[in-house]
Homo-oligomer: A and B are copies of this chain.
Amino acid sequence: MADNGLTPELMLDMYYHMALSRAMDDRMWILNRQGRAPVVYTSNGHEAAQVGSAFALNRGEDWICPYYRDLALVLAYGMTPREVMLHVLGRADDPNSGGRQMPAHWGHAKLHILTGGSVVATQDVHATGLALASKILKDGRVAVAYFGEGSTSQGEFHEALNFAAVHKLPVIFFNENNGYAISVPSRKQMAVQDVAARAQGYGMPGVIVDGNDPVKVYEVVKEAADRARRGDGPTLIEAKTYRFVPHSSDDDDRAYRTREEVQEAKKRDPLILFEARLKEAGILTDEKLKEMQQQIKDVVNDATDYAEKAPLPDPATLWDHVYGSL
């Protein structure tokens, strides 16, 4: 594992962010069930794919363009748990949107996390545009768009990949393929098995990676980023993953998938797998793990308390930021 640049410290840090994300996620759902958050989304199950990819980037400098599924990603990219909770609870100081957007609509200018709306696949095009500017300005940045496999049916996915390939832009298209678009299974979404199969038709590499393995994900993203920075153009990466809980707090996944299927998938829970692996490699000890779990508990509690005490937006601010100037 040494030659990929991942030190034990970095791997522990990866694990920390995966576990932190899972804990934050669990907390958000509790807040929802308690009626304190009208709606929440989840990254439960996607943590390895997201954290692995984040660590392969020049965090805070490269652009990431997340979607609502990407809690673990933005945490690994530098958003603090307090910031996340301010967002989830729609507080005035939410750096993502000042409480304007639904939870999980990320955006953090200082961290180079692009603001996202709800319309799927638009960020694929934005990432391409960020990369176009990077190419022209020679700023050395790579842009990464994150998206679900369902969203690849959108025309804008296609337009983005085509444009990026023609102009050999420093952009990575990172697909989190969890097999479902809300209730629609991927066989009703596309007639091929793999999203990556589309890459060839655009003239870019298409890479499939085990989304439950953060190290593998780290490696392929690193390679794609290197390629992008060398001026060799975009890469489409498909991380095979699974969403362990419903699409959002408004969803009920029992309508469209069996409990057996979910249980089966959970056998490959990336958090548990990575924990075992780190322990096996002697990187993570029981003691360290306990310490980390306590730390995470504290951090999540702190973030929740902090956000719950934070003020809601002043209604008068409704009119702010429509335009820069009129």
Contacts and interface: CB of A to CB of B under 8 A. Distances in A.
Contacts of A192: 165, 200-203
Interface string A155-180: 11111001101101000000000000
Interface string A250-291: 000000000000000000000000000000000000000000
Nearest to A156: B155
Number of copies: 2
B154 A166 contact: no
A162 B186 CA distance: 12
Nearest to A157: B158
Consensus secondary structure, chain A interface: helix
Contacts of A133: none
A191 B200 CA distance: 10
A154 B159 CA distance: 6
Contacts of A187: 166
A166 B157 CA distance: 17
B197 A200 contact: yes
A204 interface: yes
Contact of A191 (B156, B165, B197, B198): B165
A109 interface: no
A188 B166 contact: yes
Contacts of A168: 191
Contacts of A158: 155, 157-159
Contacts of A199: 201
Contacts of A80: none
A153 interface: yes
Contacts of A165: 190-192
Given A158-B158, A199-B201, 15 more contacts: A153-B162, A153-B163, A155-B155, A155-B158, A158-B159, A165-B192, A166-B191, A191-B204, A191-B233, A192-B202, A192-B203, A197-B200, A198-B202, A200-B200, A200-B201
Interface of A: 153-159, 162-163, 165-166, 168, 187-192, 197-204, 233
What are the nearest 6 A-B pairs in CB distance?
Answer: A155-B155, A191-B203, A158-B158, A198-B201, A165-B191, A192-B203
22 contacts: A153-B159, A153-B163, A154-B155, A154-B159, A155-B156, A155-B158, A155-B159, A165-B190, A165-B191, A165-B192, A166-B187, A166-B188, A166-B189, A166-B191, A168-B191, A190-B203, A192-B200, A192-B201, A197-B200, A197-B201, A197-B203, A198-B201
